[in-house]
Chains A and B, each alone.
Chain A
Amino acid sequence: MKKAISSALLVSFSMAAGFAMAQSATDDIAKYREMIADGNPAELYEAAGEDIWAKPMGPKNVSLQKCDLGLGPGVVKGASAQLPRYFKDTNKVQDLESRIITCMERLQGYDAKEIINAGFEKGKRKDVEAVVAYVVTASKGMKINVPMKHPKEKEMYAMGEKAFFFQGGPMDFACASCHAEDGKRIRLQDLPNITEQKGAALGYGYWPAYRVSSGNFWTMQRRLNDCYRQQRFPEPIYTSDVTIALSVYMGVKAKDGVIHTPGLKR
């Protein structure tokens, strides 16, 4: 009898120790983030993007300074806080990247297909990524305010929600498998519950970000592309409707969350 009690005690002890260890591990990650926050290399991409934005380029040799990101031609400050949104001139809901591509195509005369078919960090896509770093930095500290007024925006939200819960692929996975419950973790990373405002803001408010493990800047499109890779889904087409729909879903869910972009991620 006595033996049974002591072993029961032992079990509860080791459980407590395990819990404490998990806690300190996530704390350590927070500490690490704090340490490197001062030198976020995303700033280097931002500086490059600022130059690209203002420099006349492309077949038409014009800059992107007349590019309308939703707040009027050339307005960068606060632009990414209200994206994705509906654009009259393209009759589409566009996220930041697809909108930049539209500007590069219409203003500068670049071939949009070429950018879409290039890989990440390849060719003109690299410039899109740098411009993203520049634009999202100009919304830092603002509140997420993705609109859902236009019927097309509502349609995209519904599609994003559907995509978020769509389960499939060789591992029978959905975004919701990892991101629809509180307190989930993959190794040491806390996974936000994107179905709620708090979690959605934690995810949506920190991307695009510089990723320390791969040593480069990741746009939201790249982040979503990797989500699909991790689920073993076929690779989504760059700036395709499903990727924009997912951004709309997360952005609307995250309403009023604070923007911390460009983030700094493991």
Chain B
Amino acid sequence: MADPMRVRAQETGGIVDVKVLMKHDMETGQRKDSAGKTIPAHYITTITATYKGKQVFLGEFGPAVSKDPFLNFKFKGGAKGEEVTITWVDNKNDNRTDKAKIS
């Protein structure tokens, strides 16, 4: 199973600042291991953020995104005490969902 993310969300003046730290190898499929065999590609393809059931962010990631990616975005209309849900899906169809309360 995928490792947990760290999600932080902070509201100021109606704008929620969301910071997400994901644990993922983000293998490009271009690298070789010590035996010379290609390491198969393994990376996050989509990441979505939902607030009260409504999608507020959609990102399409690819092999060019770094290992253990960090994402920072803002959206309007969030309130303190409510939850933001982050979900990523990778090219092996593995996924992970974490939530954070807006502070």
A positions within 8 Å CB-CB of B: 36, 38-41, 43-44, 47-48, 215
Q: How far is it, in angstroms, between the C-alpha of A43 and the C-alpha of B5 when the chains are bound?
A: 9
Contact segment of B49-57, B67-75, B76-84, B86-94: B67-75
**B3 within 8 A of partner (CB):** yes
* Given A44-B21, A215-B67, CB of A39 within 8 Å of CB of B72: yes
Whether B68 pairs with A44 at a CB distance below 8 angstroms is yes
What are 20 A-B contacts with C-beta separation under 8 Å? A36-B70, A38-B70, A39-B19, A39-B21, A39-B70, A40-B21, A41-B21, A41-B70, A43-B21, A44-B3, A44-B4, A44-B5, A44-B6, A44-B21, A44-B23, A44-B68, A47-B4, A47-B6, A48-B3, A215-B67
B1-36, CB under 8 A of A: which get 1 and which 0?
Answer: 001111000000000000101010000000000000
Nearest-Cβ distance from residue A252 to partner chain B, whole angstroms: 34
Nearest-Cβ distance from residue B5 to partner chain A, whole angstroms: 8
Whether B19 pairs with A38 at a CB distance below 8 angstroms is yes
Whether B72 pairs with A38 at a CB distance below 8 angstroms is yes
Chain B's closest residue to A40 (CB) is: B21
Interface residues on B, range: 10 to 19
Nearest-Cβ distance from residue A34 to partner chain B, whole angstroms: 13
Q: Which 7 A-B pairs have the closest CB atoms?
A: A39-B70, A41-B68, A215-B67, A44-B23, A39-B21, A43-B6, A43-B21
Q: How far is it, in angstroms, between the C-alpha of A44 and the C-alpha of B6 when the chains are bound?
A: 7
Residue among B21, B66, B67, B72 facing the most chain A CB atoms (10 A cut-off): B21
Q: How far is it, in angstroms, between the C-alpha of A219 and the C-alpha of B5 when the chains are bound?
A: 21
Contacts of B70 in A (CB 8 A): 36, 38-39, 41
15 further A-B contacts with Cβ under 8 Å, apart from A36-B70, A44-B3, A44-B6, are A38-B19, A38-B70, A39-B19, A39-B21, A39-B70, A40-B21, A41-B23, A41-B70, A44-B21, A44-B68, A47-B6, A48-B3, A215-B66, A215-B67, A215-B68
Contacts of A43 in B (CB 8 A): 6, 21
Residue among A38, A39, A215 facing the most chain B CB atoms (10 A cut-off): A39
Contacts of B6 in A (CB 8 A): 43-44, 47
Contacts of B3 in A (CB 8 A): 44, 48
Chain A's closest residue to B70 (CB) is: A39
Nearest-Cβ distance from residue A45 to partner chain B, whole angstroms: 9
